[in-house]
Amino acid sequence: MSSTKELEISQDTIKDIRENVILPPSDLYSDEPPLETELHLEQIMLLIKCLKWLWRHRTDFYAAGNLTIYYSLKKRKSEDFRGPDFFVVLDTEPKTRKSWTVWEEDGKYPNVILEILSPTTANIDKGLKKKLYQDTFRTPNYFWFNPESLEFDGFHLVEGRYESLQPNNQGHLWSQQLGLYFGIYQGLLRFFTPEGQLVLTPEEVAQQETQRAEQETQRAEQETQRAERLAAKLRELNIDPDTI
């Protein structure tokens, strides 16, 4: 029968083993760190949802958020990778991906990138990442947006260098790649059509249709009530409304 001392040694040994065990990495979908705030998540999901709904009949684009882009010339996932908050790649298959690996995607880089600024990332987004997206990715449209301060800016690639986009009268910035404007609406960044109309989410579309149906019902009820009042007046005059 084991002594108490032997039992303690055994438990210590087990503890040491547990502390020194190196578990194999899990099959993560991205190497990106967690999003900083719930507002960041809401903004990313909103852009993806709106674009996928607007382009629901298209099969030639890929839109994602907080997903790692691997771009190593040596085709190594251990080096040279970044994860934009939101990006769109055109002329590609819209299948589900664990990451965007450039050498497995015919050398394609994003056509549009958006970074959501925060106190801890703003300098990198405006400096290091901007230079990377300009010089290496050659991404035609780059935007950044701060959902707290509402700072918003955008650039387009001209002869290999980023030049600032000029806002229209509504303060919206044009993305030639998407054929859409980016603009602030109710504190979040949204898409707008070339005509300036807000690109709606599926939920907003459904809400509009519900309101339209309710308005049609109200108009029909009002017409029915009006007809009933007219019929009552005719009967008071000894006129049968059915004979008119």
To which H or E segment does residue 89 belong? strand 86-90
Q: Which has more confidence, 144 or 1? A: 144
What pLDDT is attached to residue 14? 43
Look up tokens 């771009």; give the residue.
71
**pLDDT tens sequence across 172-188:** 999 999 999 999 999 99
Mean pLDDT of all residues belonging to the chain: 85
Beta strands in 137-203 (DSSP E): 141-145, 152-158, 161-164, 173-175, 180-185, 188-192
The region, left, alpha or beta by phi > 0 then psi within -120 to 50, assigned to residue 171 is left
What pLDDT is attached to residue 78? 86
What pLDDT is attached to residue 35? 58
Asked if residues 202 and 50 have their Cβ atoms less than 8 Å apart, the reply is no
Identify the band that residue 21 occupies on the pLDDT scale cut at 50, 70 and 90. Answer: very low
Look up tokens 């249709």; give the residue.
209
**pLDDT tens sequence across 190-239:** 999 999 999 999 999 888 776 665 566 677 677 777 876 877 777 877 77
Domains of the chain: 24-199 (3.90.1570.20), 204-243 (no CATH)
From the list 216, 207, 176, 211, the residue with the least C-alpha distance to 88 is: 176
